[in-house]
Amino acid sequence: MYISEIIINNFRNLERIRYEPARGINILLGKNAQGKTNFLEAIYLLASGSSFRSVLDRDLIRLGQNCFSIQATYHYLNKKHSISVQYTSGKRKQFTINNKRYAQTQDRLAAVLFTPDDLYLIKGPPQKRRAFIDNLLKSVSPEYRTSLENYEQLLNRRNTLLKGDLTDPGMLRALDHIFSSIAAQITLARLNLIKILDELTLRFYKLLGGSEELQLKYALTFKLPGGKVNLESIREIMVRVMQEKYIKERQRKTTLIGPHRDDVNFYLNQKNARVFASQGQQRNIVVVLKLAELEVFRRMRGTYPILLLDEILAELDIEKRETILDFLTNSSFQTFMTSVDGSLFNNINGKMVWLEQGRLLE
């Protein structure tokens, strides 16, 4: 998948930009606060539907204006598409794909973002790791997106019941039947994904020169038996554990069992990376996790998504930087990366552009 043209109007500090990206590497250079991250944010917004920086939509409009728009032409599996988003202050964002009102299609533009914030993926709270897995699964599986939405609704309803008087315990029983079956769908999809990520990350970790054994493990709120599991076996165990936890859940007035409390653990030579790995090792794990994300996407959707790298290379040592740049140069995906330091890319075959106060100088 690649973008062949992007037009940005009044988004953040970008007044009007029209850019025809290279198929391979695009390098956005500029001093601080010139609009480099804003440019990536515009692409990410088109692809994902919302910003990666938690802001109100109206803060995305260039100061003094009352609407922004972003549109792109992109190519996916030999077909050309157009995608756009328009936002006017006080209204809802309007997305279109091929000039039709937006639907969650499988042909949608897709991007994987890597920012310095992701370096907290290992150390940060479990929500961050769940969000990473969920975003990846949502981008490759509309069924997963639906299951997750259903699960969140059921979880809210269940928590409301647990908070109330619950005059009729039968209501909770009935809810738990469907709750556990959707929870099992999410759990199984995540277990399968972790299995693939575990294998891919180890391979990339070694490729980047890591000598340790990297392992990913999915941590559940209940114990699964060894060996193969399926939807029914997960559901059965879950229902049993929920019965055991029922009194505790009534006391705590919240749901204690289910994928909303699961986590992913990373191990280097069998030691938990959150506690034992150095900052450099944690960074390397995140890098390989992102590379694995691209690869999973390609396997499931037949092509790579677009890669957005915000100031990532400056954080790596020279050796890793060269390996990654080599990897990107030899890969078939389109990359947009930002940097304040153009000299990092001296030997790189990519298109360089400069941003100055929200304007593009090619």
Contact present, 200 and 290 (Cβ < 8 Å): no
Output 21 or 35, the one with its CB closest to ligand ADP.
35
Tell me which of 2, 48, 62, 154 binds ligand ADP, using CB under 6 A. Answer: 62
Q: Are strands 306-310 and 335-339 parallel, antiparallel or unpaired?
A: parallel
Report if residue 108 touches ligand ADP, rule: CB under 6 A.
no
Q: Using CA atoms, how far apart are residues 230 and 187, in angstroms rounded to an integer?
A: 10
Output 17 or 112, the one with its CB closest to ligand ADP.
17
Report if residue 21 touches ligand ADP, rule: CB under 6 A.
no
Shortest reach from residue 184's CB to Mg ion, in Å:
41
Q: Using CA atoms, how far apart are residues 166 and 169, in angstroms rounded to an integer?
A: 6
Output 13 or 96, the one with its CB closest to ligand ADP.
13
Helix (H, G, I), strand (E, B) or coil at 191: helix
Length of the chain: 362
- The answer for residues whose C-beta is within 8 angstroms of residue 184's C-beta and 6 or more apart is 231, 232, 234, 235, 238
Tell me which of 63, 77, 275, 361 binds ligand ADP, using CB under 6 A. Answer: 63
Output 35 or 210, the one with its CB closest to ligand ADP.
35
Shortest reach from residue 336's CB to Mg ion, in Å:
12
Tell me which of 5, 18, 20, 33 binds ligand ADP, using CB under 6 A. Answer: 33
Shortest reach from residue 117's CB to ligand ADP, in Å:
13
Tell me which of 26, 37, 84, 139 binds ligand ADP, using CB under 6 A. Answer: 37
Report the 10 Å Cβ neighbour count for 95: 19
Tell me which of 8, 21, 36, 122 binds ligand ADP, using CB under 6 A. Answer: 36
User: Phi and psi dihedrals of 337, rounded to 5?
Assistant: -130, 150
Residues near Mg ion (CB under 5 A): 36-37
Please name which of 34, 37, 1, 7 lies closest in space to residue 19, comparing C-alpha atoms: 7
Straight-line distance from the first to the last Cα atom of the chain, in angstroms, rounded to the nearest whole number: 23
Tell me which of 24, 35, 258, 259 binds ligand ADP, using CB under 6 A. Answer: 35
Binding part of the chain for ligand ADP, among 58-66, 72-80, 133-141, 247-255 by CB under 6 A, reads 58-66
Q: Most distant CA pair in the chain: distance in Å?
A: 71
Report if residue 34 touches ligand ADP, rule: CB under 6 A.
yes
Give the containing element (helix H, strand E) for 249: helix 231-252
Binding site for ligand ADP (CB under 6 A): 12-13, 30, 32-38, 59, 61-63
